[in-house]
């Protein structure tokens, strides 16, 4: 071999499964540009141990006993300070590996000479390896390997009861345009195609079952106890600690009642009582629903494309966070609207314009989010600047790769 040519170091791997070994092999060959290669135990210049392996301590002792003068590299999430080893903190990167291997070469005489010409066995020239600590901004915390290696896997207790509540964990129903009208129903007094009608397209939740449900939930949470909402219809049970609703009714029945404006005297028919816990524990598991998902769909059925009082469609609003869409009824364009309002505040009318979507879609989405407390409002003077800056970015729907992916995912 010509003098000066780079001969890769040979590293034996320990404490890693086949996939990790293969990954390291490819990593050294690729990003690390062949600075080292993975070999077997016999031919290696360096031992590399995954110190997060549960047997790491045993492996280290074995390696030291077998090849006491061979440099050892430890990989770990923790900052390790163990004598006569080199340390690389995870996540590993090219710079770290290169740096450590260079230091090993500098401090290990046998590795400075091309191995093919003059290989000194470790038994002939014992080499002391200096302790090297990976530089870190803070002082490394000394962690005994056995303490970390024996850290329990930490799997929590599995809640088998939770698994029986199948209605809570069903995947979302996504409504297309045709399904939206059928699912929601319509409001004949409002022409949504006429923007002058939009300001009047509101409803008061207190005049509907939704209002009583929200009040029941609020009271149950305040009192931290299970409460039963009794009405002219079916009884509904609120479980505040587990965030669940129990109701023996299908969606068709619930939708009909939710969309019904209750008369002025309806409050006398609505009572809130403590639930009999002895009975509640024997309730049918499949009647349990996630509280947020339940309230969300009741809000949608109540809205029918309108927005709740309290929202000014000409004042900027924003989403505090994304709704958990996989467990909610997804109205048309809901995810686009969510993405826009999470990014920055917009007025409802701006959202309609920017996304070129129907006002009913925006209003029903706002109704559902408002019910879950996901909406916030911003001062107009602040928002105007942001809206102006960002409008140009999305005034035109983006076609191309992302749209193709979207079409694929939506089954188009």
Stretch that binds other proteins, among 22-30, 62-70, 185-193, 205-213 (CB under 8 A): 22-30
Q: Are 284 and 241 in contact (CB under 8 A)?
A: no
Nearest by Cα to 185 from 290, 295, 261:
261
Instruction: Please write down the HEC assignment for all residues of 292-358.
Output: HHHHHHHHHHHHCCCEECCCCCCCCEEECCCCCHHHCCECCCHHHHHHHHHHCCECHHHHHHHHCCC
* Residue 336 engages other proteins in binding (rule: CB under 8 A): yes
Helix (H, G, I), strand (E, B) or coil at 228: strand
Pairing of strands 271-274, 375-377: unpaired
Q: Does 281 bind other proteins (CB under 8 A)?
A: no
> What pairing do the DSSP bridges indicate for beta strands 307-308 and 244-247?
unpaired
Q: Is 42 in the site for other proteins (CB under 8 A)?
A: no
In the complex with other proteins, which residue's Cβ is closer, 212 or 363? 363
β pairing state of 271-274 and 227-230: antiparallel
Number of residues that bind other proteins (CB under 8 A): 79
Residues between 87 and 116 with contacts to other proteins, criterion CB under 8 A: 90-94
Single residue of 14, 183, 198, 296 touching other proteins by CB under 8 A: 14
- Asked whether the CA dihedral 313, 318, 322, 324 is positive or negative, the reply is negative
Which residues 132-191 are close enough to bind other proteins by CB under 8 A?
152-159, 162-163, 165, 168-169, 171-172, 174
Angle at 9 between CA 7 and CA 10, to 5 degrees: 125
* Of 128, 197, 234, 404, the one binding other proteins by CB under 8 A: 404
Q: What is the DSSP letter of 34?
A: T
Q: How far is the CB of 337 from other proteins (least distance, A)?
A: 8
Cβ 122 to other proteins shortest distance, Å = 20
Minimum distance from CB of 357 to other proteins (Å)? 10
Q: Collapsing DSSP states into helix, strand and coil, what is residue 79?
A: coil
Residues in the chain: 412
| Residues of this chain, 183-242, that bind other proteins according to CB under 8 A | 242
- Nearest approach in angstroms of CB 256 to other proteins is 27
Q: What whole-number distance in Å separates Cα of residue 178 and Cα of residue 81?
A: 65
Q: Which is nearer to other proteins, 187 or 387 (CB)?
A: 387
Taking CB under 8 A as the criterion, the residue among 34, 195, 310, 397 binding other proteins is 397
Q: Is 322 in the site for other proteins (CB under 8 A)?
A: yes
Q: How near is the Cβ of 205 to other proteins at its closest, in Å?
A: 21
Q: Which of 7, 10, 20, 378 binds other proteins (CB under 8 A)?
A: 20
Identity of the residue, 256 or 393, whose beta carbon is nearer to other proteins in the bound complex: 393
Q: How far is the CB of 190 from other proteins (least distance, A)?
A: 26
Of 324, 376, 379, 382, the one binding other proteins (CB under 8 A) is 324
């Amino acid at each position: 071999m010509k003098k000066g040519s780079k001969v890769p170091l040979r590293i034996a791997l320990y404490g890693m499964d086949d996939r990790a070994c293969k990954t390291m092999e490819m990593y050294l060959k690729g990003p690390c540009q062949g600075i080292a290669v993975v070999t077997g135990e016999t031919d290696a210049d360096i031992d590399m141990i995954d110190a997060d392996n549960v047997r790491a301590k045993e492996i280290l002792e074995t390696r030291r006993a077998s090849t006491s003068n061979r440099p050892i590299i430890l990989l770990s999430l923790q900052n390790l300070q163990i004598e006569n080893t080199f340390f690389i903190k995870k996540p590993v990167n090219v710079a770290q590996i290169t740096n450590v291997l260079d230091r090993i070469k500098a401090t290990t005489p046998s590795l400075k000479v091309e191995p093919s010409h003059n290989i000194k066995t470790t038994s002939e020239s014992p080499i002391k390896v200096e302790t090297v600590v990976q530089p870190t901004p803070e002082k490394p915390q000394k962690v005994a390997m056995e303490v970390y290696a024996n850290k329990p896997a930490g799997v929590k207790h599995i809640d088998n009861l939770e698994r029986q509540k199948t209605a809570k964990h069903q995947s979302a129903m996504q409504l297309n345009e045709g399904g939206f009208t059928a699912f929601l129903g319509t409001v004949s007094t409002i022409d949504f195609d006429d923007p002058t009608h939009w300001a009047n397209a509101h409803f008061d939740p207190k005049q509907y079952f939704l209002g009583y449900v929200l009040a029941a939930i609020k009271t149950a949470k305040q009192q931290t106890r299970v409460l039963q909402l009794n009405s002219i219809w079916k009884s509904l049970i609120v479980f505040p600690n587990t965030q669940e609703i129990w109701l023996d009714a299908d969606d068709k029945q619930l939708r009909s009642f939710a969309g019904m404006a209750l008369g002025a005297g309806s409050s006398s028919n609505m009572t809130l009582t403590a639930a009999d816990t002895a009975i509640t524990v024997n309730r049918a598991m499949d009647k349990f629903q996630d509280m947020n998902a339940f309230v969300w769909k009741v809000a949608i059925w109540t809205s029918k494309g309108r927005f709740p009082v309290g929202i000014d469609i000409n004042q900027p609003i924003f989403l505090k966070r994304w709704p958990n869409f996989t467990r909610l009824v997804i109205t048309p364009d809901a995810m686009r609207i969510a993405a826009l309002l999470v990014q920055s505040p917009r007025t409802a009318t701006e959202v309609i314009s920017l996304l070129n979507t129907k006002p009913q879609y925006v209003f029903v989405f706002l109704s559902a989010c408002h019910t879950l407390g996901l909406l916030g409002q911003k001062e107009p003077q602040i928002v105007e600047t942001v809206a102006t800056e960002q409008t140009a970015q999305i005034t035109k729907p983006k076609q191309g790769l992302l749209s193709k992916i979207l079409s694929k995912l939506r089954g188009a």
